[in-house]
Amino acid sequence: MKIAENVAMLDVKFAQNGSFVHLTLVWGESHLVLIDAGFPGQTDAIVQAIADEGFRVEDLTEIILTHQDIDHVGCVSDLLKLAPQAKVLAHVEEASYIDGRKTPIKLAAMLQNYDNLPEERKAWFNMIKTGFANIHISVSQTLTDGELLPICGGIEAVYTPGHTPGHICLFLRKSGIMVGGDAVNIANGELTGPNPQNTYDMELGVQSFEKIKSFNPEGVVSYHGGYLKIKK
């Protein structure tokens, strides 16, 4: 779904529970950028969603990851097979989790508490453990707070820790849209902060939510909530 002149939100269904994740595609004269990359197994759906917007996955130039979680990095390896020239970007604090040098935060916490998990959470743990075991992604470029990528009208990295230690949002300067990853949610037509149940540090998460609002964005993409146009 096109949400600005050079921005589309890609609604990609997760077959296992019927929910959707909302990736973002941004384009410019010589760049085609995908922000986040779904669960493992969603590659075909992502390829089709990109095609539905009139582009080819083979032409991706950058894949920017808001953070380390499996539902955001799951298809990167498959996408790089189709677009081997694409660079992978993430915040400097997330890179070691994404490339396998460190155990992802949520995976480590669930492993430590595995015996106390209900059966459905054990099944979820086993799925993401398998997913991470098969996905070690080399990060081509690390980002820091306020770093501006001079592509697609300007893509600014906004450091928003809380959900994970190195979570970032991406502020698209040309359109004024904030790609919020898991730092934001949408409830009853209103923008809300991170989900406490899934947040590594809620105090930081609340501070990051205020930081996001300080940009006064024209609209916000929530990875699990969709797109919200901000009323001025």
The mean pLDDT of 90-108, rounded to a whole number, is: 88
The string of DSSP letters for 205-219 reads HHHHHHHHHHT--SE
Average pLDDT, the chain: 91
Handedness of CA 7, 205, 166, 102 (dihedral sign): negative
Please report the pLDDT score of residue 92 as a whole number: 97
For each of the domains in the chain, give its residue range(s) and CATH number, in order of start: 2-226 (3.60.15.10)
Please report the pLDDT score of residue 96 as a whole number: 94
Q: Is the pLDDT of residue 88 over 70?
A: yes
Alpha helices in the chain (DSSP H): 43-52, 70-73, 76-82, 95-98, 105-112, 119-133, 202-214
What percent of the chain is predicted at pLDDT more than 70? 90
Q: Is 100 exposed, middle or buried (0-12, 13-18, 19+ CB in 10 A)?
A: middle
Structure confidence by residue, pLDDT tens digits, 61-87? 999 999 999 899 999 999 999 999 999
Residue 77: other Cβ atoms inside 10 A: 17
Q: Tell me the whole-structure pTM to 2 decimals.
A: 0.91
Sequence-separated (6 or more) residues with CB below 8 Å from residue 113: none
CA nearest to 224, candidates 190, 181, 169: 181
Please report the pLDDT score of residue 133 as a whole number: 61
Give the pLDDT band (50/70/90) at residue 189. Answer: very high
Please report the pLDDT score of residue 147 as a whole number: 98
**CA 53/CA 182 separation, integer angstroms:** 24
